[in-house]
């Protein structure tokens, strides 16, 4: 495994790999602080491609709070060890100056409900502008056949899919299931900032999603009733959501009755840590056991 810092080095290494017979390149973009969720994306990429590239870049332009950027964990040496063990072939770990050189003046913006609701409503235009800009730059730098994203960041996934389709970027965007700890908490680099007591409280988030799914399976399809159930579960854990939304999983338009697949998305602070999670609810399979 190699680590490269510049786009020129990245392209040279990938050019050599393709010249040596590599037929496909898979890409996993990350901000580091790797956990099993990231490694599950690496596994998915490894299963479908000859070469796996993983990026580590804490993108400053998508943070709306300076304190969140400053607190974001950075552990490149540990990340590199995990990536190598998982089978990553190439790490791209650029500096901010490499990604945003002097005179940089371009922003990639996806407009409409995909970026104006949920995370966009709370974090402002800058968040998704920053994410879309850096992901487009990374995709153009790596030029992968496929890029792998987790369903936990459902809105981000939709924005990336829209951007790639609109700009004609020749990369397949692969959605991978949310990875969870054994207690049900969605894996996140921010989880390490939770105290033991806060982590116990945070379990109210997946429990609320589970309770809503169970209520749907029992025959309740009204969103107001499902939402009340989720709010009660969160309140029992001392959590007040920033948002708790039932929306279309394809365009994020609000839903009032669950007659087809619906995305239930939640964001909440537990202590100083902001967490997000979601579940796709489908009445057609709500009563089925996995």
Measure CA 154 to chain center.
Answer: 7
- For the chain, percent of residues with pLDDT exceeding 70: 98
Domains in the chain, please, with CATH?
Answer: 2-176 (3.40.50.620), 189-278 (3.30.1300.10)
What are 227-249's pLDDT values in tens digits? 999 999 999 999 999 999 999 99
Contacts of 12 (CB under 8 A, 6+ apart): none
Q: How confident is the model at residue 73 (pLDDT cuts 50, 70, 90)?
A: confident
Mean pLDDT of 200-219: 97
Mean pLDDT of 255-278: 97
> Is 186 assigned to a binding site?
no
Between the CA of residue 46 and those of 85, 149, 151, 210, what are the distances in Å? 12, 14, 18, 31
* Bridging pattern class, strands 262-270 and 241-247: antiparallel
Output the average pLDDT for the chain: 95
> Is 204 assigned to a binding site?
no
Q: What is the pLDDT of residue 63?
A: 82
> 270 or 287, which is more confident?
270
Q: What is the pLDDT of residue 286?
A: 65
| Identified catalytic residue from 38, 46, 127, 221 | 38
Closest CA to 51 of 158, 159, 133, 145: 145
> Is 150 assigned to a binding site?
yes
pLDDT for 211 beyond 90:
yes
> Is 75 assigned to a binding site?
no
Distance in angstroms (rounded) separating the CA atoms of residues 217 and 285: 8
Q: What is the pLDDT of residue 69?
A: 80
Mean pLDDT of 178-203: 96
pLDDT for 112 beyond 50:
yes
Distance in angstroms (rounded) separating the CA atoms of residues 254 and 102: 41
What are 123-154's pLDDT values in tens digits? 888 899 999 999 999 999 999 999 999 999 99
Q: What is the pLDDT of residue 66?
A: 79
For every residue of 204-238, DSSP letters joined together read HHHHHHHHHHHHHHTT--BHHHHHHHHHHHHHHTT
Distance in angstroms (rounded) separating the CA atoms of residues 151 and 127: 18
What are 9-28's pLDDT values in tens digits? 999 999 999 999 999 999 99
pLDDT for 289 beyond 50:
no
pLDDT for 64 beyond 90:
no
Q: Tell me whether residue 38 is one of the annotated catalytic residues.
A: yes
């Amino acid at each position: 495994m190699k680590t490269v810092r510049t786009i020129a080095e990245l392209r040279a290494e990938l050019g050599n790999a393709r010249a040596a017979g590599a037929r496909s390149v898979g890409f996993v973009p990350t901000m580091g602080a790797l956990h099993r969720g990231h490694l599950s994306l690496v596994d998915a990429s490894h299963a479908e491609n000859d070469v796996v590239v993983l990026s580590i870049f804490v993108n400053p332009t998508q943070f709306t709070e300076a304190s969140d950027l400053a607190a974001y964990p950075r552990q490149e040496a540990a990340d590199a060890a995990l990536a190598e063990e998982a089978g990553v072939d190439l790490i791209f770990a650029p500096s901010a100056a490499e990604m945003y050189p002097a005179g940089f003046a371009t922003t990639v913006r996806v407009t409409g409900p995909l970026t104006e609701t949920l995370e966009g409503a709370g974090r402002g235009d800058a968040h998704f502008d920053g994410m879309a800009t850096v992901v487009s730059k990374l995709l153009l730098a790596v030029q992968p056949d496929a890029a792998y994203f987790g369903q936990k960041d459902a809105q981000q996934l939709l924005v990336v899919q829209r951007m790639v389709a609109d700009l004609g970027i020749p990369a397949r965007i692969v959605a991978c299931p949310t990875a969870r700890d054994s207690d049900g908490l969605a894996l996140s680099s921010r989880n390490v900032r939770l105290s033991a007591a806060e982590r116990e409280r945070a379990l109210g988030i997946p429990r609320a999603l589970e309770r809503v799914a169970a209520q749907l399976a029992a025959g309740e399809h009204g969103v107001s009733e499902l939402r009340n159930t989720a709010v009660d579960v969160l309140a029992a854990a001392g959590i007040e959501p920033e948002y708790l939304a039932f929306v279309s999983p394809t365009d994020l338009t609000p839903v009032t009755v669950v007659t087809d697949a619906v995305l239930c998305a939640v964001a909440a602070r537990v202590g100083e840590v902001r967490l997000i999670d979601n579940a796709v609810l489908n009445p057609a399979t709500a009563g089925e056991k996995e």
